[in-house]
Copies of this chain bind each other. A is one copy, B any other.
Amino acid sequence: MISVLEAKQHIIKHVKSPRVEEKLLSDALGFVLAETLLAEIDTPPFDNSAMDGYAFSYSKWDKKSALTVIGEVQAGSENSLKTGANEAIRIFTGAPVPPEVDTVIMLEKVERNADKITLLDENLKQGGNIRPKGSQTKKGDVALQKGQLVTPAGISYLAGMGYSKVKVFTKPKVSIIITGKELVKAGETLETGKIYESNGIGLTAGLRQLGIEPVSVAQVDDVSESIENAIESQLNSDIIILTGGVSVGNYDLVPAALEKCGVEKIFHKVKQKPGKPFYFGTTSNALIFALPGNPAAVMTCFYEYVVTAIDALMQKTHLKTLMLSLENDFNKKPGLTNFLKGKTTENGVKILDSQLSYMLNSFAIADCLITLDEDKTEYKKGDLVVVLMIA
List the interface of chain A (C-beta within 8 A of B): 25-26, 29-30, 41, 43-46, 50, 52, 73-78, 92-96, 107-108, 131, 135-137, 143-144, 148-149, 151-164, 180-183, 186-187, 190-199, 201-206, 208-209, 222, 247-252, 293, 295-296, 298-299, 302, 354, 356, 358-361, 363-367, 390-391
Contacts and interface: CB of A to CB of B under 8 A. Distances in A.
Number of copies: 2
A334 B86 CA distance: 34
Judged by DSSP, the binding face of A is loop
B198 A156 contact: yes
Contacts of A136: 354, 358-361
15 contacts: A25-B186, A52-B247, A52-B249, A74-B222, A75-B193, A77-B182, A78-B191, A152-B203, A153-B202, A153-B390, A156-B299, A156-B360, A157-B363, A159-B198, A164-B186
A390 B154 CA distance: 12
Contacts of A194: 45, 76
A151 B391 contact: yes
Contact of A295 (B50, B148, B157): B157
A155 B199 CA distance: 9
A152 B202 contact: yes
B155 A201 contact: yes
A324 B43 CA distance: 33
B108 A75 contact: no
A361 B96 CA distance: 21
Given A52-B252, A182-B76, A154 B364 contact: yes
